[in-house]
Structures are given as structure tokens and as C-alpha cells.
Amino acid sequence: MTQDGASDDVTPVSIDAATAEAQRVAYRLKGVIRELTGGWSTWASDTGKLYAVNPARLTDEQISAGCAQTVHGENPAELVENLRFQMRKMTEFNERHQAKSEAARV
């Protein structure tokens, strides 16, 4: 037992080198991706995959149009490629939605 009364039999969590590297990469990408995407955040799973999560809640219509709340990649290049695809999907959706709204006003 430690001086503050906490148990000292805590087993350290062991992660492999690939997972540790993925977590470091996700941390380094975090600011860049957040700035380039308007707020998506990044993280690495304990399997080493990199993920990006859209902070905005998607509507059912956006999801039906192929927009995703979360994307992943096996490496930074794949994550960025998947993010770019999602950004294009969102742009296409927004353009269609705007065109429908403008047509309805006429």
C-alpha cells in the first residue's frame, strides 16, 4: 500500500510498439486535422488503427447520403485519404441540400 492509502498492486498496461507509434502519430495529427477539417478529432485504437471523428452530429439524411461520423486508416496517409473523401461527401451533400432549399423557395 502507498502512503496515501492507495493500492500499489496496479498492473501496468502493456501496449506494443506499433500501437504506441500509432498513438504518437494520432497526437501529432490532432491539431492539423482539427484545423483542416473544421474540428474532427483524431485518436489511435489499441490495435494501432488511426481514427478521426466528426464532432458535428450527422442527420439521418447525411448518413443516407454516405457521410460518416467516423473514419479510420491503417496509417496517416490512409486516414487523410479517407478524411478527404468524407469532406467531399459532406460538400456534395451540402451543395445538393442548398440547391433543394433554393428550389423550394422559388
- Return the closest-CA partner of residue 83 out of 101, 98, 70, 102: 70
Is residue 81 within 8 A of residue 73, CB to CB? The reply is: yes
Nearest-angstrom CA–CA distance, 63 and 36: 21
- 3-state DSSP assignment of residue 64: helix
pTM greater than the 0.85 cutoff: no
Q: Is residue 1 scored above 50 in pLDDT? A: no
Q: Is residue 8 scored above 60 in pLDDT? A: no
pLDDT recorded at residue 103: 83
Give phi and psi for 52, each to the nearest 5: -130, 135
Q: What amino acid occupies position 91?
A: T
Nearest-angstrom CA–CA distance, 37 and 80: 10
Q: Is residue 89 scored above 90 in pLDDT? A: yes
